[in-house]
């Protein structure tokens, strides 16, 4: 039996609606799924209802973008670090603290996205922010991110693919990149716990700490802040990394998780492709907070 504990819907930057994901999961032979949209719980009720109809276990989740410094004040002292995402699994979707964070993150996005578009215009790309808003509206999302801007660039013929848009324009370090405010790790982990969830260090490879000792030190600091688990199985993790992260989790006394990080047609990754053992879901389910 298998599960997939990391995926996105049209509520953020996936291309499949929350109510269609469970049927796809069932067809892929999955017995449990978590919906983990970026900074929003908007898709959870519809996904849960469809899971109940189909008899698949549902894990309400969220994926928060976190500042890669782990202590307040340390946030910008981390030039070599890349992306830090924390998944909340088994969260209450209507938790007021989490709602407040969603609101803050949306504001951060809404001030950053027009800045990206302005930079693109400076680079000679003829794009209007209105076009991005229209696309988001078409897809029914309120969480607008770089993948949506990328799609507008594809439509207008400036780039061939989402990947192309990132590597030429909007990835970190590229000419139209704009940083957005992110949550301190403490706040993300506390909010997830307050909402009854488990905090999971998502796709550690994306942090960019290639030295295993440095990554272990960093993860131990996250554990000090309350981290519950490490996502060991992920589409970006080669087998050697899966082994490294599994050993690290064991050593630090953390649980393990896994998922495909499915984004629909936006990324060349299939739902359920990580073949995550159902036992991983069961262990997390046992550990979840019952409040
Ligand atoms: P944003 O939330 O606006 O910062 O956009 C981040 C999202 O863009 C991530 O969740 C990924 O889905 C996608 N993304 C980030 N980096 C890349 C990349 N290099 N290539 C393709 N997609 C990416
Ligand atoms: Fe994404
Ligand atoms: Fe992520
Ligand atoms: Zn994700």
Give the model confidence (pLDDT) of 175-218 as tens digits.
Answer: 999 998 889 999 999 999 999 999 999 999 999 999 999 999 99
Describe the strand order of the beta sheet including 2-4 as a list of residue ranges. 255-258, 229-233, 198-201, 84-89, 57-66, 30-35, 2-4, 276-277
Q: What is the pLDDT of residues 98-110, one digit of tens each?
A: 999 999 999 999 9
Same domain, 97 and 111: no
Mean pLDDT over residues 64-83, rounded? 67
Same domain for 111 and 135, yes or no, is yes
Q: Tell me the CATH number at 254.
A: 3.20.20.140
**pLDDT confidence bin for 84, thresholds 50/70/90:** very high
Among the atoms of ligand 1, which is closest to the Cα of residue 261? 12
Query: In terms of residue numbers, what domain contains 131?
Result: 107-170
Please report whether residue 176 resides in a domain: no
CA of 161, nearest ligand number? 1
Residues of the chain above pLDDT 90, percent: 89
Residue 91 binned pLDDT confidence (cut-offs 50, 70, 90): very high
125 Cα to the center of ligand 4, angstroms? 28
- Residue 188 and residue 277 in one domain: yes
Residue 178 lies in a domain: no
Residue 179 lies in a domain: no
CB 32 within 8 A of CB 3: yes
Q: What pLDDT does 68 receive?
A: 86
Structure confidence at residue 288 (pLDDT): 87
Contact by Cβ (8 Å): 256, 249? yes
Asked if residue 228 is part of any domain, the answer here is yes
| d(CA 263, ligand 3 centre) in Å | 10
Q: Is the shortest distance between the CB of 147 and ligand 1 below 6 Å?
A: yes
Q: Which residues contact 214 (CB under 8 A, 6 or more apart)?
A: none
Ligand 1 atom closest to 149 (CA): 3
pTM as predicted: 0.94
Confidence of residue 142 (pLDDT cuts 50, 70, 90): confident
Q: Are residues 197 and 84 in the same domain?
A: yes
Q: What is the pLDDT of residue 54?
A: 98
Taking residues 226-243, report their average pLDDT.
98
Q: Does residue 162's CB lie within 6 angstroms of at least one atom of ligand 1?
A: yes
Is 26 close to ligand 1, i.e. is its CB under 6 Å away?
Answer: no
C-beta of 145 in contact with ligand 1 (< 6 A): yes
- Mean pLDDT confidence for 256-271: 96
If one compares 91 and 267, the residue with the highest pLDDT of the two is 91
CB 263 near ligand 1, within 6 Å = yes
Q: Is residue 177 part of a domain?
A: no
Ligand with the closest atom to the CA of 267:
1
Residues 197, 97 share a domain: yes
Overall average pLDDT of the 239-266 stretch? 97
In short, whether 117's Cβ falls inside 6 Å of ligand 1 is no
Q: Do residue 238 and residue 98 come from a single domain?
A: yes
Instruction: Give yes or no: residues 122 and 234 share one domain.
Output: no
Residues 238, 262 share a domain = yes
| Residue 163 Cβ < 6 Å to ligand 1 | yes
Collapsing DSSP states into helix, strand and coil, what is residue 232? Answer: strand
> Are 162 and 197 in the same domain?
no
User: Structural domain tally of the chain?
Assistant: 2
Residues with CB under 5 A from ligand 2 (ion): 13
Q: Please give the average per-residue pLDDT across 114-135, as a whole number.
A: 97
Ligand 1 touching residue 38 (CB < 6 A): yes
Nearest residue (by CA) to ligand 1, atom 14, is 147
pLDDT reported for residue 61: 98
């Amino acid at each position: 039996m298998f599960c997939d504990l990391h995926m996105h819907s049209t509520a953020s930057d996936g291309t499949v609606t929350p109510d269609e994901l469970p049927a796809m999961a069932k067809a892929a032979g999955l017995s449990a799924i978590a919906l983990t949209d970026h900074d929003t719980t908007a898709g959870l009720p519809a996904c849960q209802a469809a899971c109940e109809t189909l008899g698949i276990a549902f894990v309400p989740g969220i994926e928060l973008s976190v500042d890669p410094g782990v202590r307040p004040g340390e946030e910008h002292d981390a030039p070599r670090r890349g992306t830090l995402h924390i998944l909340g699994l088994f969260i209450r979707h209507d938790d007021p603290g989490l709602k407040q964070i969603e609101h803050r993150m949306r504001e951060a996005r809404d001030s950053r996205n027009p800045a990206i578009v302005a930079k693109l215009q400076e680079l000679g790309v003829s794009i209007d922010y209105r076009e991005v808003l229209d696309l988001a509206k078409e897809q029914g999302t309120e969480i607008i991110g770089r993948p949506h801007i990328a799609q507008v660039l594809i439509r207008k013929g400036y780039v061939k693919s989402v990947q192309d848009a990132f590597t030429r324009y909007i990835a970190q370090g590229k000419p139209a990149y704009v940083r957005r405010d992110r949550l301190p790790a403490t706040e993300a982990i506390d909010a997830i716990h307050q909402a009854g969830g488990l905090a999971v260090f998502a796709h550690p490879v994306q942090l960019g700490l290639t030295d295993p000792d440095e990554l272990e030190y960093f993860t131990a600091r996250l554990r000090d802040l309350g981290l519950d688990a490490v996502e060991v199985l992920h589409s970006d993790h080669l087998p050697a990394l899966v082994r490294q992260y599994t050993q690290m989790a064991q050593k630090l006394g953390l649980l393990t998780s896994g998922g495909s990080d499915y984004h629909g047609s936006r990324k060349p990754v299939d739902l359920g492709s990580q073949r995550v053992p159902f036992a991983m879901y069961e262990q997390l389910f046992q550990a979840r907070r019952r409040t």
